[in-house]
Structure 1
Amino acid sequence: MNRTLHRIGAMCAARPWLTVSAWVAVLVLALGLAGTVGGTPRDDYDVPGTSSQAGTDLLRERFPSLSGTEARVVVHDPDGGQLDPALLDRVIGELRGVDQVGLASPAQPSADGDTAIIDVRYTVPVTDLDADAMDQLRAATGPARDAGLQVEYAGQVPEGEKPSSHTGELVGVLIALVILIIAFGSVVAAGLPIIAALIGLGIGSSGILLLAALTNIGTTAPTAAAMVGLGVGIDYALLLVTRHIEGLRAGLEPRAAAARATATAGRSILVAGAVVLLSLFGLVFSGLAAYRTYGYATAIVVATVMTAAITLVPALCAMSGRRIMSRRRRVVDAEPRQRPPLTARWAQRVGRRPAGWALLALAVLLLLGAPALTMRTWPQDAGSQPTENTVRRAYDLVAAEFGPGAYAPLVVAVDLTVVPQDSLPALRDRIEAVPGVARVSQPIVAPDATASVLTVQLAFSPQDERSSELVDKLRAEVLPDGAEVTGVTAVFADIADLLAERLWLVVGVVVGLSLILLTVVFRSILVPIKAALVNLLSVAAAYGVLTMVFQWGWGSQLLGVDRAVPVSTWVPLLLFAVLFGLSMDYEVFLLSRIREEWLATGDPFQSVVRGLAATARTITAAALIMVVVFAGFMTNADIVTKMIGVGLATAVALDATIVRLVLVPATMMLFGKANWWLPGWLDRLLPTLGRGRVMPDALATEDAATEASRPPEPVNAR
């Protein structure tokens, strides 16, 4: 592997302008294709195999006018006056003329008459809606706004329209650039990781839109993919640029330094990227199409930025010559460092009392992770959104005027080939008698009399724990065979249950595959097991912080969340897959260098000291950049994106400090040579990647061949 990567780096560094031009051409082509034939991300609420899906499928087959996606128009007079029935009828007429709308029901007025709800049912699922569905909805309700009334929108149609402000992300990139300038002391060196990451991100994001033309991609999947891709893209490029500068300071010419950096850092990048991709692969086992799209989207971006790191970055490094170094470092290091770096002294200090430091780090992580034991999950709904969002304003109006359960009522779908039609009144009475049910509508029968629908309004909000408990009670004790509970609240309850069951399957698959890969790479039993355990601790700590911030409400108002809310059901599983991969990035970077020192010296203590000294600065800078980038996504208006940003930023910060600077070196010093023990029979059984060394001696010959075949560098490049 090392020889192959060396040759790739040498080839790209030898033809830098051609390599950079090729990447730019691919970027322009990808953006052009995405803009012309790319699809639009859409949420898919189908949950195969659940009771709510059975009810939805029944309505699609027997009652199509009530089976598609839904929207609700909430009209309110801010002055408290009575709404004009004629005006409402005009709005309803306009709504019935909207494309793909199958039904716009009569207005449901509030008790005081100043608010009304108009239910709109489409004939297609949300994934098949026209791209301008919300624009058509706004146009149809124009007469109400023209009359000075407040008009807000609720339901799946407006919830699928995500705000698109990227201010926080842009600020994060600018701060990352400043961090890199400080770390390298060179604007050129600081700019290379940013340029490479942005080009890779642009191509990867275009690939997501092209994939969206072929299959359903969730509306928040591109944002999550961009968040992860930008972070790892900068990290991977930063690692290679750091190794390149080390080569320059050791006396190598720019092209040879770029080739050697690709061989050494490139191997770590490929292994780290492979672990991230394996982690994302675990989302396939979630049982939900929405999660699979998260995995596909993020994998596309990660693969693209990883490829950019090992091909584009060497070309940019060679093109920059010695200008990539700060002015005071544009000399070859001739004298050994007189005093060990701070990180080496820190590692030696940890090594003097490794057991104590390990227990302290473990205690901190367990303390932060403890609140996760009380975590309650629920898919994000309108009540969790910021107040500037129309669905949140609609939620507040409906809750105030009609009751907290009116925003997302349950829908009971009845198969009249199984349940006699004359039993519907009695069924309605039984449902209405259940404690917690506020109101049940009269049955609506399909034109062919094969299906019927009852709408059930609960006495509490959708995210209240009692809502899901009541769904379970209706299914188990009240409804006969042939009747199913569906609707947004029932779907969300089924999603929460399904993901709670599948979480451990995903964890097992991801951890198992990662252990196999790391065992092959590091030729060790203990190192992969420790890596998996400490990464799980980082994930648990992130869960704990999420619980404290959002569920307990500690500081949530600073993020624009005005009330305590459950952690979104979408977040824990996605965070695990992403965080486990990202944590492995730093683990691979650190362990690769420690193993290199171990193979060179055979000293288990000094290999940890030197490995940490060589990588701590890079890992710290990379982690700080990731934290800044992820923190930028906390400003996003969508609460799920906020939660993902908080979780990722927290886990990366903990991982780069408590885990990499304390827990990992302390445990490696405790176990000594046992870290690298591998049974002989297993060593022979496992495939070999390269020669087991991160830096084979044969690369020196490759460097010489690279230099001999290249013309000398221009004078001004030095």
Structure 2
Amino acid sequence: MRNTEDVKGIAARAAMWSARHRTLAILGWIAFVVGVTILSGQIGTRDAVDSDYGHGDSGRADHIVDQAGFPVRPAGEMVIVQNRAGADRKAAIADLTRQLTATSDVTGVQPAIESPDKRSSLVTFSIGGDPETAKERVQPALDTVARVQAAHADLYIAEGGDASADKLIGDDLDRGLSRLGMLSIPVTLGILLVAFGAVVSALLPVLLAVTAVVAAIGLLAAASRLAPADETTMHVMLLVGLAVGVDYCLFYIRRERDERRAGADAHRALVIAAQTSGRSIWVSGLTVIVAMAGMFITFDTTFVSFAVGTILVVATTMLGSLTVLPAMLSALGDRVDAIKIPGLYRRRSEGRLLSGFLRLVLAKPLLSAIVAVGALAVIASPVVDLRTKGQGIEDLPPKAPVVQAFKAIDGAFPSKTSPAQVVIEAATVKGGQFDKQLAAFETAVTKSGGALSGPVEVRVNPAGTVAVVSVGLVGKDALDTLRGSVVPATFGSLAGATALVSGEMAVNADFNARLDASLPWVFGFVLGLAFILLLVSFRSVVVAITGVVLNLLSVAAAYGMLVWVFQYGHFEERLQFEAADGLINWMPLFLFIILFGLSMDYHVFVLSRIREGYDRGLSTKQAVREGIGRTAGVITSAAVVMVAVFALFATLPLASTKQLGVGLAAAVLLDATIIRAVLLPAVMALLGEKNWWLPRWLGWLPQIAHEPPAQPVGPAPSEPELAGVA
């Protein structure tokens, strides 16, 4: 039996066990992936419903409505008929009403109402059947409206509503996500083929990442019993899983191949890779999980679902990287370089160009640091204008017909597109007292100075205990007026009643308040625990502080880039969006967590290689030159994969997905170039031996070796044993 007493650490022990029992490890991984996939198919994933979301007063109001037993309302649609050169609308409205009434699946066509400026009319109707599936039955109505528009070309006639929006925008988004899923894997494989120059070694990271994502999605079904899954969680899992999975495999395979080419036998190369890159994967994975766990502190259903999904996919990827990957490398031996691609296969990963650039940085570290910080400051400078906003119609593709219809309706009938809903719960909402306060409310609306607009609409549940009063909001201060004075002075005076405001504007305001309250705790949690993990891993206060600061710089630069593009309006035509007065409200926090976690991959990997050299007796500057030089190829390859996959998100139709793609791609690109190739080596060169400073009172921290073992660990197996599968 092979001696394993010199194999230290969880990562190395797991790798050596997997290498000795490679058949069991490989078949066990396959069984695990298949098993959890079958299990998820049997139990299903519990998706989050409307009642799972919400914060503050709007969340309480929506919960009251959800429990009140209101009849299910069919999906509502609206058609605007608007003047374009003084044309008469009456004939068009009559034609539209007649044709809609005769259209299949159209119910409840209402008489047209006129806008205050007398230039627009609005016809409302419903799509019969389940509102959740109304988009499947809305096409006949869209066809009818298109025919009426063609017959009255001198007017603007367009349809908007929940069903038509789901049909036109939802279908585009579904197609985009499907395209993203199909393109991300081939794009990743193509980049890896260039990076490795061999088909087998390029396929391994993709296979591990894909199977890890599949397994994590299977585990999500069980986890959704505790935390319901948001519908976009699986897409985030694919994004993070591909990025992390490919990174980890690149680190591991490249180190094993480099040691093999340096003269180590196959067993020795695998041991070194396990005790270096394997350990980096372990530390990096824990740091990423810590960062993702910060989303739990928001107590928001979407963020909690993202946290569960990303933690599952990172943990699953770690498990595969530390077990089945070394088993595969042991089984393949040197055949991992099989099917070499002429012109691409290289025996060494270091590039002369980067080595020359690194020598320049280390020769002038102060100047390099100043230039790098200056460049990052310029890129991050727009962050001073960073504002946030709730998602709205302006975040959809601006040229989509339904978006243009919504904008026209919102301009002429603001109470119809996103009205506020005042939810009143009392012993009874029928009779004298309620009617009296309702009349007072209507009077207050007319005296609001235009902040509130009618008509006021009322719905009452069958039990007569809950009423929903709808009113239009105009301007940024309208919600404050409604919540601060109008509702308390009217429905708030009902004895024993609860009066709360919901609706799109109220939901966004309460969501922002929830994020603002949780932001300091999330930042403190993520930064604090990341600092502790780096401190314990590298036994250096300076290294831990440097890691946190450098990651914050990459996040700040990403924020600046987002403001420059999406608030200032650069690349509007190319990216097909409309500049807005703020980023999507959840974007800054989500990007901070994702970027902080992913950038730790690079940081831990590079620092581990630098520490190896330092522990072997090299000076800090020599260790930096060797560590960064030898990791440059794999860092570049991993960054290119991430940037390419993230950039695909910018092709999706929603502003939120575009911001996510641009923010992630820009941050990873900056992190892998300016920060890791310039600022990190410059700062470490300037600090010298101070990089490794640890106060005496922290001397109790565990000693974690960063260098490969000085002696081979046990007898190396024969080449036939390495190349074959046990």
Shorter chain as denominator, the TM-score bin is: 0.7 to 0.9
Structure 1 CA distance for aligned equivalents of residues 212 and 681 of structure 2 = 33
What CA distance in whole angstroms lies between the structure 2 residues aligned with 1:407 and 1:622? 45
Alignment partner of 1:660 is 2:676:
yes
- Secondary structure of the 1:439 match is strand
- Cα distance in 1 for partners of 2:675, 2:241 equals 23
Root-mean-square deviation over aligned CA pairs: 3.6
Q: CA deviation at 1:176?
A: 2.8
CA distance in 2, matches of 1:95, 1:60: 26
1:324 aligns to what?
A: 336
Once the two structures are overlaid, the 10-residue window that deviates more, 342-351 or 504-513, is 342-351
Confirm whether residue 354 of structure 1 aligns to residue 352 of structure 2: no
Matched, 1:117 2:156: no
Listed as ranges, the gaps of 5+ residues in structure 1 are: 97-103, 123-131, 460-465
Unaligned runs of 5+ in 2: 1-6, 83-90, 149-157, 493-497
Distance (Å, rounded) in 1 between the aligned partners of 2:343 and 2:275: 23
Q: Greater CA deviation, 238-247 or 136-145?
A: 136-145
Return the offset for 1:266. 0.9
2:36 matches 1:30: yes
Question: Which residue of the partner structure matches residue 479 of structure 2?
Answer: 471
Give the 3 Å change call, closer, same or farther, for CA 261–671 of structure 1 in structure 2: same
Given the alignment, which residue of 561, 566, 569 partners 2:585? Answer: 569
Pair 81,331 (structure 1): closer, same or farther in 2 beyond 3 Å: closer
Superposed CA offset, 1:601-629 (max 9, x none): 15121111111111111111111111011
Contact 2:387/2:581 (<8 A) preserved = no
Counterparts of 1:38 and 1:661, CA distance in 2: 46
Instruction: Measure the CA separation in 2 of the matches of 1:117 and 1:383.
Output: 22
Q: Which residue of 2 aligns with 1:403?
A: 413
CA distance in 2, matches of 1:641, 1:231: 17
**How far apart are 1:590 and its partner, in Å?**
0.7
Alpha-carbon distance change, 121 to 144 in structure 1, aligned in 2, over 3 angstroms: closer
SS of equivalent residue, structure 2 residue 203: helix
How has the CA–CA distance of structure 1 residues 107 and 507 changed in structure 2, closer, same or farther, with 3 Å as cutoff?
A: farther
Once the two structures are superposed, the pairs formed by residues 13-412 of structure 1 within 5 Å of their partners are 13-39=19-45, 41-42=47-48, 44=50, 50-61=56-67, 63-65=68-70, 71-75=75-79, 80-82=92-94, 85=97, 109=113, 115-118=122-125, 134-136=132-134, 138-139=136-137, 142=140, 145=143, 152-154=160-162, 158=166, 163-165=174-176, 166-212=178-224, 215-325=227-337, 341-386=352-397, 392=403, 395-396=406-407, 398-399=409-410, 402-404=412-414, 406-412=416-422
**Cα distance in 2 for residues equivalent to 1:542 and 1:113:** 43
Return the match for 2:561 from 539, 545, 550: 545
Query: Would the alpha carbon gap of residues 48 and 382 (structure 1) be closer, same or farther in structure 2, given more than 3 Å must change?
Result: closer
CA distance in 1, matches of 2:584, 2:106: 32
Shifted more, 517-526 versus 595-604: the winner is 595-604
Aligned-partner Cα distance in 1 for 2:648–2:712: 45
Q: Give the deviation of 1:554 after TM superposition.
A: 0.8
Q: Which secondary structure state, in structure 1, belongs to the residue aligned with residue 467 of structure 2?
A: strand
Secondary structure in structure 2 of the residue aligned to 1:635: coil
Deviations 1:95-126 (A, max 9, x none): 88xxxxxxx7957656688752346899xxxx
C-alpha contact 1:244 1:261 (8 A) present in aligned 2: yes
CA-CA distance at 1:672 after TM superposition: 0.9
Q: Aligned in 2, Cα 1:154/1:563: closer, same or farther, shift over 3 Å?
A: farther
Q: How far apart are the structure 2 equivalents of 1:26 and 1:313? A: 15
Question: Does residue 1:454 correspond to 2:469, yes or no?
Answer: yes
Q: Is the 8 A contact 1:107 1:118 kept in 2?
A: no
Cα deviation for residue 349 of structure 1 reads 1.7
- Letter aligned with residue 64 of structure 1: G
Whether the 8 Å contact between 1:357 and 1:666 is mirrored in structure 2 is: yes
1:209–1:332 Cα change, 3 Å: closer
User: Which residue identity is paired with 1:193?
Assistant: P
Equivalent runs, 1:413-562 vs 2, <5 Å: 413-415=423-425, 420-437=434-451, 439-442=453-456, 444=458, 446=460, 447-459=462-474, 466-467=475-476, 469-480=477-488, 481=492, 482-562=498-578
CA distance in 2, matches of 1:91, 1:138: 15
Q: How many residues align?
A: 679
Q: Pick closer, same or farther for the CA change 1:404–1:476 going to 2, 3 Å.
A: closer
Structure 2 residue identity aligned to 1:637: P
**Which AA in structure 2 matches 1:549?**
V
In structure 2, do the counterparts of structure 1 residues 136 and 516 end up closer, same or farther at CA, with 3 Å as the change threshold?
A: same
Residue aligned with 1:435, SS: coil
Asked if residue 12 in structure 1 is aligned to residue 12 in structure 2, the reply is no
Contact 1:424 1:443 in 2 (8 A): no
- In 2, the alpha carbon distance for the partners of 1:197 and 1:69 equals 43
Per-residue CA deviation, residues 434-469 of structure 1 (Å, 9 max, x unaligned), is 23436223452635554433211234xxxxxx43x3
> Which is further off, 244-253 or 389-398?
389-398
> Cα gap change, 1:16/1:322 in structure 2, threshold over 3 Å: closer, same or farther?
same
2:376 counterpart letter in structure 1: L
Alpha-carbon distance in structure 1 between the residues aligned to 2:576 and 2:257: 42
Give, in whole Å, the separation in 2 of the partners of 1:527 and 1:76: 62
TM-score when scaled to structure 2?
Answer: 0.84
Mean CA deviation greater in 549-558 or 226-235: 549-558
- 3-state SS of 2:288 partner: helix
Change (3 A) 1:88 1:713: closer
SS at match of 2:162: strand
Instruction: Give the residue type in structure 1 aligned to 2:627.
Output: G
Instruction: Provide closer, same or farther for how the CA distance between residues 271 and 9 of structure 1 changes in structure 2, counting only shifts above 3 A.
Output: same
Q: 1:713 to 1:500 in 2, by over 3 A?
A: closer
Q: Percent identity?
A: 30
Distance (whole Å) between structure 1 residues aligned to residue 616 and residue 312 of structure 2 = 37
Instruction: Tell me if structure 1 keeps the 8 A contact 2:233–2:309.
Output: yes
CA contact (8 A) 1:196 1:233 kept: yes
AA at the equivalent of 2:478: L
**Is 1:612–2:612 an aligned residue pair?**
no
Say whether the 8 Å CA contact 1:227–1:633 is kept in structure 2.
no
Task: Judge conservation of contact 1:365–1:541 (CA < 8 Å) in 2.
Answer: yes
**Residue 568 of structure 1: CA displacement?**
1.0
Distance in structure 1 (CA, Å) of the matches to 2:213 and 2:600: 21
In structure 1, distance between residues paired with 2:65 and 2:127? 15
Query: Structure 1: how far apart are the matches of 2:231 and 2:402?
Result: 16
CA contact (8 A) 1:69 1:157 kept: no
Aligned counterpart, 1:637 = 653
Cα distance in 2 for partners of 1:77, 1:330 equals 62
SS at match of 1:295: helix
| Match of residue 462 from structure 1 | none
CA distance in 2: counterparts of 1:282 and 1:156, whole angstroms: 37
